[in-house]
A and B are shown apart, each in its own frame.
Chain A
Amino acid sequence: MTKLKIGVLSASVNAENKWSQFLQSEFYFNYKRNIAAIAGTILIILFLLMATVGPLLVPQNPYNLQEISILDAYKPPAWAEDGELRYLLGTDSQGRDILSSIVYGTRVSLFIGITGMLFSCIIGTVLGLVAGFFGGKIDSLIMRIADIQLSFPATLIALFIMSISGRGIVNLLIALTLVGWVIYARTVRGATLAEKKKEYIEAVKVIGLPNYKILFKHILPNVFTSTIVIATIQVGSFVLTEATLSFLGVGVPVTRPSLGLLVKNGYDVLFSGLWWASTFPGLFIMLLVFGINMLGDFMRDELNPRLK
């Protein structure tokens, strides 16, 4: 792709300039006044910090057998009777610290949510672009597959795929991608159909640019905004889907438990009085998805031209 780097001309535009432009934009203006969006952002940042630097701060690596001790099992949260400050949210039946488990579990959950979203987004966007731009048979083919897939509940499809392929992070990502691409394909196709009728696309056709350049250089940047909102909310929904699958026992392997698997592990011992082992991981799933959705809702209102 030819990208003009005009030395003299572009000297005035640099990153700092872009940042100050953003601070003056309407998007930022509305963002500042939207408490839900700010709260969502703070939650997301906290979770991201937890997933990246969190493991350095917690008392133990719950999957390192040398660091856990069965003697510490069944400890309630710190504020309860018999609670220890070291195990802030208590321990499970193996003596693993719940808080540490949650920190490590968040890592897995977020990794699966974000990576699954990225794969879905890339595949769905490309298929949507191709379907919308070329139309005809290829469009019908892609969209019929999408229609069929949409007529089954997403969790059911994922459950089906996981039952065949078995537990594992890679299998999970494949399942989520197969479930998740449809929404991008449909949105991007719609946006492409609208965009390709505009005169600037006709103008580059008159210039003679080949189709792949028109598609990726001119249409893609203009339809991409519509996928950002979906992508944000999808991370949340993938975290939930993954939790569901793990809870049902077909998700991540037991050696790398996600938040969902922690809930399941806690659930198994829930009736023996260990309420904290499943409650706290569940609470963290809720907070994470809640944060993502609050930011996602704000972005949908701001970036959706139909609501403006």
Chain B
Amino acid sequence: MVNKLLEVKGLKTYFHTFKGTVKAVDGISFSLNRGEILGIVGESGGGKSVAGFSIMKLIEEPGFIQAGEIIFQGEDINRKNEREMKDIRGKDIAMIFQDPMTSLNPLYTIYQQLEEVLKLHSKMGAKARRERCIELLNQVGIPQPADRLNSYPHQFSGGMRQRVIIAIALAAKPKLIIADEPTTALDVTIQAQILQLLKRLVQENNSSLILITHDLAVVSQMVDKIIVMYCGKILEQGKIDDIIYQPAHPYTSGLLNSIPRLRDQKKRLEQIPGIVPNMFQLPAGCNFAPRCRCFRDKCLVDQPEIATIEKEHGVACHFPLLEVGRI
């Protein structure tokens, strides 16, 4: 398919620590089309951030990409060396990090930091670069961009910094943006601004976006497709409406039900019992079985593979929730 921007096949990223091997990402496969927004949700330790970093090949020791292919625009990123990756990072794939306070260098003005990307990845002259910087800041909604160019990061608030980071990410018109919890450190009202901005800009530039977050509500407003990760594996993936309204995996359904809703009032929240298993001692069967409300014997011994139940809706469960069982 021409339309396919990114295809990840059987990606495995392991961390070899002195306590043993952590299978942070354990055989995940998904694909992303041009202009699409994909959400990766999961709890902490689910491997969603590692998946994002693996696509950028930013995994550091003791972590290694063990196996799998990351096909970006028809080429396997996994086979590229560090020099080739430097050209891809920032130009074709950009990343937005969680913490706006630490992802800008406090010693340089935002103009210097923006211009650096343009210097690296474009052949613009000094004047054109300056104009492009102003245009970028304007795009991300920073008032009086020409005056603020020479400000230092500490002169901006958290929300404004995240806008600058988005501007830097967009500078080289990347084809894919990976945003790792871009709004977690921000306030609710600022979060709404940033999410709307991100969505609008991605659509305007015809880029694709991978949004990594723990917040299902954020995802449901933003994305076209969802991947639900748990302990390094994909439990469920599909179109947004399928996942939100017809979750087939007990984990997805449990997550959805455990969120207090603004609209309706329940005396008690439904809860998923137990805790996320220790990554060093994962269960033999399904990773979620010890917390599942409808596990059977098979779940404890046999690890389920992801299977398609509907068009584009896959679930890794021996006993996916049927229509009647859905809430």
Report A's interface with B, CB cutoff 8 A: 26, 29-30
Contacts and interface: CB of A to CB of B under 8 A. Distances in A.
Nearest to A30: B18
A29 B16 CA distance: 14
B236 to A, nearest CB: 36
Contacts of A26: 18-19
A29 B19 CA distance: 10
A246 B200 CA distance: 76
Contacts of A29: 18
Nearest to A25: B18
4 contacts: A26-B18, A26-B19, A29-B18, A30-B18
A30 B19 CA distance: 12
B300 to A, nearest CB: 28
A26 B19 CA distance: 8
Interface string B67-91: 0000000000000000000000000
A29 B62 CA distance: 15
Nearest to B18: A29
A29 B18 CA distance: 8
Interface of B: 18-19
B281 to A, nearest CB: 15
Interface secondary structure of B, over-half rule = loop
A94 to B, nearest CB: 55
A211 B44 CA distance: 37
Contacts of B19: 26
Nearest to A24: B19
A28 to B, nearest CB: 10
Contacts of A30: 18
A195 B18 CA distance: 29
Contacts of B18: 26, 29-30
Nearest to B17: A26
Nearest 4 interchain pairs by C-beta:
A29-B18, A26-B18, A26-B19, A30-B18
Nearest to A29: B18
A11 to B, nearest CB: 25
A231 B229 CA distance: 47
A36 B29 CA distance: 46
A25 to B, nearest CB: 9
A30 B18 CA distance: 9
A30 B17 CA distance: 12
B280 to A, nearest CB: 12
B22 to A, nearest CB: 14
A15 B19 CA distance: 22
A300 B18 CA distance: 20
B270 to A, nearest CB: 29
A123 to B, nearest CB: 38
Nearest to A33: B18
A248 B19 CA distance: 52
B61 to A, nearest CB: 14
B168 to A, nearest CB: 28
A29 B17 CA distance: 11
A109 to B, nearest CB: 37
B27 to A, nearest CB: 28
A37 to B, nearest CB: 16
A88 to B, nearest CB: 44
A3 B19 CA distance: 32
B9 to A, nearest CB: 35
A203 B19 CA distance: 33
A287 B18 CA distance: 32
A8 to B, nearest CB: 25
A298 B19 CA distance: 20
A141 B41 CA distance: 53
